[in-house]
Chains A and B, each alone.
Chain A
Amino acid sequence: MAASEKSRELAATGARERAAGYLVGRHRFRPAEALPWLLAIAAFFLFPDRMTFGNQALIMVMFALSLDLILGYAGIVSLGHAAFFGVGAYTVGLLIARLDWSEPLSSLLAAAMLSGLIGFVTGWFILRYRGLTVIMLTLATAIMLQEAGNLRSDISGGYDGLPGLVISPLFGIFDYDLYGHVNYLYVLGVLAVIFYMVRRIVYSPFGQALTGIRENVRRMHAIGSPVHRRLVTVYTISAAIAGVAGALFTQTNAYVTLTVFDFDNSAKVMVMLILGGTGRLYGAFIGAVVYMMLEDHLSKLSPTFWQFGIGLLLILAVLFAPRGLLGLVEEISRKSWRRGRAGAARRLIWKGEHWTVLAGSAVDGAAIGFIVGFAANFGQAHLLSEYIASLPGRALAFTCFGALVATAINAIYLAFTSRAAAEDRGS
């Protein structure tokens, strides 16, 4: 008895040591972490004529990083994060346009402080609630700031914005060239500092408490964690970082308009973060850069298709890669994933219930395709007879297309989920 007790104790100590070792060691820099930074520096030398784009991408990385702090770590769903981006952008804009204050670094600091302050005040109220109320209140915050700016358009410039904002040389020495080379390095430097801070926060006991709140808020209350204070703190920090991103946006673009507060801006940054993966620091990098590159190429081709693409991307991400691109990469790199999925796909063929699902989705897709095809081009058809003549072909094409898409999505979905379902049944 004594021996088994001792071995159990030993095992417990071992487990505790492993856990402690994990907590102590996880914040150490891994070699792979240098990769994004090396890529960013390489981009500076490889694409000297694409620096304006690079600037925007880095700014969006910073913005996504700030959202990751509250969404990925603390689990606060905000649909109005553009509020703080906008406050930062306007702080810099107004400092230059109304007060002739154009020194870049001190205006960054001012932007961080002001947006942090607004984050603190709104967060204090908003974060007492949960779920839909929080989503609505964050959304309302952004819209109210936009409306307030519109109300005092004598100060803010309204929707025409503040054009022609020129900032002073960095440190009084480095002037900004037309191609944004200095800007790029400036933004990259600020991003590196911010990233270091965020990384420290995430791996600190405070960051650990945030993860606890995200995972199980009741238990955190039960063990005496000051939940509200923690949430308000992280919300304030996140707001300040978003403010810095906004400030950089104004400084590098030399203009700002009220559209920075748009819902689109809040939604966009969330899509980026989801695409990259929440709660994993580098998700913001991958998500923002991939999104910006896709947008750069596709929205030039057709803004409409681009919007359709984001929608589809979101749905696919939620269905198939809930942990983002980084999570997907991790999963694929594990060998078992492939075998498991292939096996699931094979089993799928033999399962009668799946065929019913697929047949059903084919019928649904066909029906929706038919309706869309039937309704298509009503707006543009000039002659009813012309329209009717073209109808059968188009309706048929849309029907087939709809059926195909719905079946394909469901087939992939089943392949993904049937293994998990089988495991559930087995256990």
Chain B
Amino acid sequence: MPQYANIAVSILFDGLAYAMFLFITSVGLSVTMGLMNFVNLAHGAFAMIGGYVVVSLTRSYGVGFVPSLIIAAVLVALISVRFERRLYRRFYRATDLEQVLLTIGLAFMAIATFTYFYGPIPKSVPLPDWLQGSVNLGFRSFPAYRVFMIAVGAALIAVLWYGFERTNVGAMVRAAVDNRRMAESIGINVDRLFTLTFALGSGLAALGGGLAIQLLGLNPNFALLYLVLFLIVVAVGGLGSLKGTLLAALVLGIIDTGGKYLLADAGGFFIYAVTVIVLLLKPAGFYGRE
């Protein structure tokens, strides 16, 4: 294979794996923001907590990698419900600023707590053998872990798409995002719907956090470092849109990976440039309502 084709395939492949991480982690944020207009800057903290649960389970309890991912997602989903019920609920009608302050305060507290218990040094997870080597896909071989990530991402996209577009609950969520008052007046319990999607979103964020350890490393600052990326994906994709989040994750994931491959010095410049251009042209994002 020619050199540049090889690089192009690498960029596409790595970008795809990265995009899956972005999608899995951001989709919950997008839906909860679309539903309640709630700016949740603690979303990255849920992802970080998920990552540390996976680290703890695999390292100290010897649980397998895949089961710990699932346990982490469920555990964080349960914790997040309590936060939503007790704290967030009071701020749905508050201003953007109050929501930003409250949730960034939570993120700071989470970072400090995990720095205290786990230290600031990045953690890694022991992977099972079948995720360590590389997989030959016929024309060339790819790292098995990234193949695994893409597979998980694709499976989740299929499940979420089915749930969102083909089930009753999904229809209710879409209706509530479209017009919350109308949805409430025809008897949809938007509050309960929100709790449900919030739990699901936080659980997915935890799953994304667990998956990202191997790819990006995990230290407590993860909560704020990648939060900016999740917010960008949500803003570029359009609030409350599954399609938009997926498209934004793919575009940004591949462009960011490409930028880092081809122009290492420019670092994260591209992703922000794309964000600014998209938001200037379409302030509500790809599939957001104007």
Contact = CB atoms under 8 A, between A and B. Distances in A.
Contacts of A125: 280
B36 interface: no
A299 to B, nearest CB: 12
Interface in A343-392: 360-361, 364, 367-368, 371-372, 375-381, 384, 387
A4 interface: no
Contacts of B275: 136, 140
A23 interface: no
Contacts of B249: none
A144 B276 contact: yes
Nearest to A305: B112
A379 B119 contact: yes
A427 interface: no
B101 A387 contact: no
B105 A132 contact: no
Given A368-B79, A378-B55, A314 B228 contact: no
B109 interface: yes
Interface string A198-240: 0000000000000000000000000000000000000000000
Contacts of A270: 101
B279 interface: yes
A379 B102 CA distance: 28
A307 B117 contact: no
Given A135-B96, A139-B228, A307 B79 contact: no
Interface in B91-112: 91, 94, 96-98, 100-102, 104-112
Interface residues of A, number: 59
Nearest to A308: B112
From A77, A307, A319, A367, name the one whose CB has the most chain B CB atoms within 10 angstroms: A307
A318 B272 CA distance: 30
A305 B102 CA distance: 18
B109 A308 contact: yes
A308 B108 CA distance: 6
Contact of A379 (B106, B110, B123, B272): B123
A375 B56 contact: yes
Interface stretch (A51-59, A146-154, A189-197, A248-256): A146-154
Contacts, number: 153
B53 interface: yes
A274 B97 CA distance: 10
A169 interface: no
Contacts of A147: 266-269, 272
A133 interface: yes
Looking at chain A's contact residues, the main secondary structure is helix
B96 A378 contact: no
B52 to A, nearest CB: 7
Interface in A228-280: 263, 267, 270, 274
B106 A143 contact: no
B268 A143 contact: yes
Contact of B266 (A151, A304, A319, A380): A151
Nearest to A122: B276
Interface of B: 33, 37, 39, 52-53, 55-56, 59-60, 75, 79, 82, 85-86, 91, 94, 96-98, 100-102, 104-113, 115-119, 123, 224, 228, 231-232, 234-235, 239, 265-269, 272-273, 275-276, 279-280, 283-284
15 contacts: A77-B97, A131-B96, A132-B231, A136-B231, A144-B273, A150-B265, A270-B101, A304-B116, A307-B112, A308-B113, A308-B116, A319-B102, A375-B117, A378-B56, A410-B86
Given A131-B37, A151-B269, A375-B52, 8 more contacts: A133-B279, A139-B228, A312-B105, A314-B104, A375-B56, A375-B117, A378-B60, A379-B117
Interface of A: 71, 77, 79, 125, 128-129, 131-133, 135-137, 139-141, 143-144, 147-148, 150-151, 153, 263, 267, 270, 274, 304-308, 310-315, 317-319, 322, 360-361, 364, 367-368, 371-372, 375-381, 384, 387, 406, 410
